[in-house]
Structure 1
Amino acid sequence: MKSFPLAAVFGTAAVCLLASPLVLAEDAAPTSLDDIVVTAGRKAQTVDATLAPVSIITRTDIEQYQASSLPDVLRRLPGITLSNSGGVGKTTSVFIRGTHSSHVLVLVDGIKVGSATTGSVAFEDLPLDQVERIEVVRGPRSSLYGSEAIGGVIQIFTRKGGKGFQPEVSVGIGSHNTQQAHANLAGGDGTTWYNLNAGKDETDGINVTANNREPDLDGYKRDSVTLSAGHRFADGTTLEASALHATGENHFDGSFNNESHVTQQVLNTKLQHLLNDKVLLTAQLGQARDDSDNYLNGVPLAAYRTYNTQRNTGTLQADMAVGAKGTATLGLDQQQDKVISDSTYDRTSRDNTGVFANYQTDIGATRLDVSARHDKNEQFGSNNTGNIAVGRDLNNGMRVTAAYGTAFKAPTFNNLYYPFSGDPNLQPETSQSVELGVSGKLAGDKVQWSANAFSNEIDDLISYPPPDYAVSQTDKARIRGLELSATTQVAGWDINANATVQQPENRSGTNTGKTLIYRPKQFANVDVDREMGKFRVGGSVHAESQRYTDDANTESKKLAGYGTLDLRADYRVSKDWTVGAKVGNVLNKDYQTSNGYNQDGVNGLVTVKYAPK
């Protein structure tokens, strides 16, 4: 990954100060920001220092791939697959290591987002043009973050300002009358920074359903804006605030409703104080909203129209250097979920309090990482989770790791109270996971590779089995897998490849041994790019094996495996102007990732970007 401007430190909040007392306390050599990760341990540390499998996507990567949506970026990473209901802007589920989409914790600038009713995150509604960086941690992280982090954590950092004035404007046009317009104004000096980003995206879309029951185009529109600002005081205190607001209008096929108006909003305030060269104190307040209003042929529904959820969070955290080689973190999280809906919910709010601790140290060539957390939910009582990881650096530049972790997922308001299908007696889902990994570097770091084997057992899995589709909690699942990834350069070409082989199995009832729905057993990605003067060209291959759409794994209901090829190129007309073009699904592959929903055929997008240097 290439480095991005120094201003991006302020976008990760913890990096802006925490990297100084803790990274230096470990006698680490200076590193680029691409070598710093925040999400794995809830504090800044070098990638080499963390024992968790982590993937990082920078703003440079996003622009190089010419990605047009957040799901388009995430599907390139090891361990991640998607299920999409009909193209751009349609409901998209993200699965990490074969776990359910609700087993993925998602943060925006440290604030937990997602719907308290469905338990899912509207990835399709989060604007990619306002993203500076994405960190993905695979494996359980409930011992640091609490509920939902059974499969992993995805953290999205919005764009921040830096030194000087840095304007940027881009426009794009493409297939299906796609139109994009984005503007970013960033600036600041050595102590103060700001950023304002606004965007508009619109497309006529495709016909989402494969049965052509409504053979029309199903469009999508989104308007978004992000504002952030921060200041670092002379006494070691940093104050920053940010707000992301996105509204969308989505059309789809349906007899009950076929249009929804959605809002995603994330508010964040963070205060940090560097107490001395070994202690950093952090206080953070945030609010995330997920709102949806449903319509039929443009007319508001008389009932089951509004589903608005609000998540208020607060955090106090202390990060400390302990001795010459150790770091410790102590923290307190407070969360309140609220539901506002015209559907009848027996309960519309609940609070959760979590306390957590983490300790990391080096003992010679061995690194130890231990964390524990206690969550007390006013509805479900207490949940205790923990994680321990050990890594050993070998003389040949390789590292071997072993980890064990527990995690849990609290039932959503829909699981508990949704009319005709909820069960108020549900208890949290729980998991136990083990992992073994090995990684290394070759040819003077020109080749980097890793392999991670994992096994995750989930108890009290929540599902909706036929024929009545009432919620059930008798299921167990076991997911075993192997992730392989490598990056290198050959003859001037940058190559990034990964492959995952997994066995996500149901382990209870009549479907014991059957594959969990919508989880392919094999999938792989290859990205190849080369810069040639003012030109840059590249291509991506994404391939997946078949996936089943019902718990019984009925052959007639499975979705076939597929492979897609995307090509891209851009040209720097001058130091300020760049023109880019990409062609997606070049081979016009006909495939589905969700039963009955089409995916786009061959498609194109041309963009023009102005960014004065």
Structure 2
Amino acid sequence: MSCSFERDATARCTAISKKLLFSSCAFFAVLAVTGPASAQTVDLDGIVVQGDSRGTSVEAEKIGSAVTVITGEEIRQRGITYVSDALRSVPGVAMSRSGPAGGLTQARIRGAEGNHTLVIIDGIQMNDPAQGEFDFSTLLADNIERIEVLRGAQSALWGSNATAGVINIVTRNAEPGARVGITAEGGSFGTKKLSGYASAANDWARGIVSATGFDTDGYNTSPFGREKDGYENRTISFKGDADVLPFLNIQGTIRGTRTFAETDPQDFNWGSPTYGLVVDGDRTHNVEQLFASTRATLSTFEDHWKHSVFFNYTDYETERFADQFADSGDVGTREHFGYQTTLQFDTPSIANARHTLIGLIEQNTETYRNTGPIFWDPSQIPEQERTLRGHVAEYRLELFDSLFLTGAYRYDTNDTFEDAETYRATAAYLLRSTDTRFHASYGKGVTNPTFSEQFGFIPGQWLGNPNLTPEESISWDAGIEQSFFNKALIVDVTYFRANLENEIFADYSGPIPTAGNRDQESTRRGVEVTVTARPTDNFDIIATYTHLNSFETDATGLRFREVRRPEHQASVNATYRFSDRARATVSAVYNGDFYDNDFRLGAPPRILMDSYTLVTVAGEYDISDNLTAFARVENLLDEDYQEVFGYETANIAAYAGIRMRFGD
């Protein structure tokens, strides 16, 4: 979809809601009885990916889809605070943030919209039920084990919102024994952060609790005036698992986040000299998120046949305030439960094959309710609800330990839209004699209209359209990965293409913007390049480049580039280890010129935004085995740029802190 409206601000959040507090306590109590989420699988010889399959972890080299993995170690070495900044170095991913920390932050994969990407954390779908997408402004990078980015249609496995790809995030796992970690950091813009974790694990149970508090005074969102726009984030999470029987494992996860952000409004006062621009104003918004999940897995026939039942719960509450008065808001929930069976067996005498069959039945029930002042429009108040039931079959075949094939089919029954069929096929082939890997994928994706697009209401700024139909996409990619010098240099080049039908767009032709479906097809195609090099044992370089052509066609047949999708993007991350104790990293991200919406009177509807390059220098030193000091400088070149038209960004900034570790 091309429908993107900025979230107006909302008011200071003074306490976690009673519902969040009660649910958290109840869930912790349950897990205290069942025991602490199983450690995720990581293969040090070759990274293992979870997001490519609903039933099993898969080695990255066996995956036909284009995939990028960012490890927790890389995140810490680069000094990354926000997950969104880690994603800027992923090929095919375009990030945009509306102003300072707390502003709407969107990820667009291969030219698709933000709600075409499904975000998962520890197995829980994170996309806001109301907006359909995940706002990355609420997600800090502390206590993350790794980030997997799978590009291309994944709807056959994951359903709606996975049309363009999946971002699967795994948080820190409990390690054997008892461990505690604390990180403290401060720096520019009055920024302060304190985070920590405590974990314990033995032969039959594992558990970890983590918490982060982040505050910044920020800077002015608007280019006019000097008012600072601050941001606060409080996040707490727990995950654990227990082998209650030799053949039965129970897992549980809970995560709560509360954020408060100050921002500025766009001026839509007719005749104003700043009409369409972001101006100083008292706008705030607060967001409360609650995510919880539990899963029980029964293993039979020596782990060859597994059965799982699961339940996930999502609760979003957003409030927006203007001049300290309630302006708009929404509440969205998701209840997701299902049953999954996974059968894995080998046929050594027939092509030395390994077979994996996966069956899944699941149900997603989502609700949405506007919570704006009732005097605006009482018709927008009733709660909306919809239920989707998914039926998934997946087959994975490995032949001669060199050819890896997958096929997946999904049938969704909807009580609101027409039933949908999606599918995906992938292939990967390893030519070990030349260290060459070929990979390709093909699939169909579907994205249902969001509640906000159908029923959303922001006074004078947005009115939903209940008659929208789902978007459909056919996409494919093909690439080759070549290793040189015993894998000291690896180059991967991938071509991709996607065609989107029924694209949902923002219609500004009426007195109040609304959403509509385009009759014309929109196309996205491009090339992704990743180069990984290790010139010496203590020097690592990762470089990426993306060329993207993303076009939509209006009712007159005119084709134009879609907003906030640069044609050229590139990144370089270089890490040098001076000794066993000191490390330095230089990161650079290039964002080519791009178009954005321009609402100024008399101006063309789109404006060409300048390219920019952001350079970060980070270093860390192990003072002892238990204490590490670190520092970084962001925007080293003091680049003056905007990611969203009218919204200011940070100039050069410096931060420093310490990281402490205790335990076995």
Q: TM-score, normalised by structure 1?
A: 0.91
Q: Corresponding residue for 1:521?
A: 567
Q: For 1:45-98, what per-residue CA distance to the aligned partner results, in whole angstroms no more than 9, with x for missing partners?
A: 111222111111222121111101111111111111111111222210111111
Flag structure 1 segments of 5+ consecutive residues without an equivalent.
1-9, 20-30
- Is structure 2 residue 150 aligned with structure 1 residue 137? yes
Q: CA deviation at 1:432?
A: 0.4
CA contact (8 A) 2:417 2:469 kept: yes
Could you tell me how far apart the structure 2 residues matched to 1:571 and 1:400 are?
A: 40
Could you tell me how far apart the structure 1 residues matched to 2:45 and 2:229 are?
A: 41
CA contact (8 A) 1:505 1:515 kept: yes
The correspondence of residues 1-12 of structure 1 with structure 2, limited to 5 A, is none
- Is structure 2 residue 192 aligned with structure 1 residue 179? yes
Q: Corresponding residue for 1:37?
A: 49
- Is structure 2 residue 583 aligned with structure 1 residue 536? yes
The correspondence of residues 253-292 of structure 1 with structure 2, limited to 5 A, is 253-254=264-265, 258-277=283-302, 278-292=304-318
Q: For 1:538-578, what per-residue CA distance to the aligned partner results, in whole angstroms no more than 9, with x for missing partners?
A: 10010011110139995972110111111011111111110
CA contact (8 A) 1:477 1:508 kept: no
Q: Tell which has more relative contact order, 1 or 2 (C-alpha 8 A, sep 6+).
A: 2
CA contact (8 A) 1:345 1:418 kept: no
Q: Which of 313, 323, 330 is the matching residue for 2:336?
A: 313
Q: For 1:85-142, what per-residue CA distance to the aligned partner results, in whole angstroms no more than 9, with x for missing partners?
A: 1122221011111101111011121111222222221211123213222111111100
The correspondence of residues 19-418 of structure 1 with structure 2, limited to 5 A, is 31-32=43-44, 35-42=47-54, 43-210=56-223, 212=224, 214-254=225-265, 258-277=283-302, 278-297=304-323, 299-301=324-326, 304-324=327-347, 325-343=354-372, 344=380, 348-364=384-400, 365-394=402-431, 395-418=433-456
Q: Equivalent residue of 2:339, what SS? A: strand
Q: Equivalent residue of 2:544, what SS? A: strand
Worse-matched range after superposition: 284-293 or 322-331: 322-331
Could you tell me how far apart the structure 1 residues matched to 2:596 and 2:426 are?
A: 35
Could you tell me how far apart the structure 1 residues matched to 2:287 and 2:529 are?
A: 37
Could you tell me how far apart the structure 2 residues matched to 1:495 and 1:461 are?
A: 38
Q: For 1:348-376, what per-residue CA distance to the aligned partner results, in whole angstroms no more than 9, with x for missing partners?
A: 11111001011111334432211100011
CA contact (8 A) 1:126 1:264 kept: no
Q: Which of 646, 649, 662 is the matching residue for 1:596?
A: 646
Could you tell me how far apart the structure 2 residues matched to 1:340 and 1:508 are?
A: 32
Flag structure 2 segments of 5+ consecutive residues without an equivalent.
1-34, 268-280, 348-353, 373-379
| Counterpart AA for 1:334 | Q
Q: Corresponding residue for 2:530?
A: 485
Q: For 1:295-323, what per-residue CA distance to the aligned partner results, in whole angstroms no more than 9, with x for missing partners?
A: 223x341xx43311111111311111144
Could you tell me how far apart the structure 1 residues matched to 2:619 and 2:655 are?
A: 11
RMSD: 2.2
- Evaluate the alpha carbon distance shift between residue 12 and residue 36 of structure 1 in structure 2; reply closer, same or farther with a 3 A threshold: farther
- Evaluate the alpha carbon distance shift between residue 323 and residue 556 of structure 1 in structure 2; reply closer, same or farther with a 3 A threshold: closer
Could you tell me how far apart the structure 2 residues matched to 1:486 and 1:11 are?
A: 40
CA contact (8 A) 2:36 2:239 kept: no
Could you tell me how far apart the structure 2 residues matched to 1:527 and 1:577 are?
A: 25
| Counterpart AA for 1:352 | L
Could you tell me how far apart the structure 2 residues matched to 1:350 and 1:512 are?
A: 36
Worse-matched range after superposition: 157-166 or 418-427: 418-427
- Evaluate the alpha carbon distance shift between residue 576 and residue 14 of structure 1 in structure 2; reply closer, same or farther with a 3 A threshold: closer
| Counterpart AA for 1:374 | Y
Q: CA deviation at 1:294?
A: 1.7
Could you tell me how far apart the structure 1 residues matched to 2:95 and 2:120 are?
A: 18
Q: Corresponding residue for 1:581?
A: 631
- Evaluate the alpha carbon distance shift between residue 363 and residue 11 of structure 1 in structure 2; reply closer, same or farther with a 3 A threshold: farther
Worse-matched range after superposition: 375-384 or 248-257: 248-257
- Evaluate the alpha carbon distance shift between residue 558 and residue 593 of structure 1 in structure 2; reply closer, same or farther with a 3 A threshold: same
Q: For 1:167-226, what per-residue CA distance to the aligned partner results, in whole angstroms no more than 9, with x for missing partners?
A: 00110011001001111111121211111111110000011122x1x5300000111111
Could you tell me how far apart the structure 1 residues matched to 2:605 and 2:126 are?
A: 37
- Evaluate the alpha carbon distance shift between residue 508 and residue 559 of structure 1 in structure 2; reply closer, same or farther with a 3 A threshold: same
Q: Corresponding residue for 2:497?
A: 455
Could you tell me how far apart the structure 1 residues matched to 2:662 and 2:46 are?
A: 24
| Counterpart AA for 1:351 | T
Q: TM-score, normalised by structure 2?
A: 0.85
CA contact (8 A) 1:127 1:246 kept: no
Could you tell me how far apart the structure 2 residues matched to 1:513 and 1:310 are?
A: 37
Q: CA deviation at 1:260?
A: 0.9
Worse-matched range after superposition: 466-475 or 132-141: 466-475
CA contact (8 A) 2:37 2:240 kept: no
Q: Corresponding residue for 1:432?
A: 474
Q: Equivalent residue of 2:596, what SS? A: coil
CA contact (8 A) 1:495 1:529 kept: yes
Q: Equivalent residue of 1:582, what SS? A: strand
CA contact (8 A) 1:521 1:545 kept: yes
| Counterpart AA for 2:589 | H
- Evaluate the alpha carbon distance shift between residue 361 and residue 14 of structure 1 in structure 2; reply closer, same or farther with a 3 A threshold: farther
- Evaluate the alpha carbon distance shift between residue 459 and residue 345 of structure 1 in structure 2; reply closer, same or farther with a 3 A threshold: farther
Q: CA deviation at 1:14?
A: 8.5
Q: Corresponding residue for 1:559?
A: 609
Q: CA deviation at 1:599?
A: 1.1
Aligned residues: 586
Q: CA deviation at 1:34?
A: 5.8
- Evaluate the alpha carbon distance shift between residue 584 and residue 131 of structure 1 in structure 2; reply closer, same or farther with a 3 A threshold: same
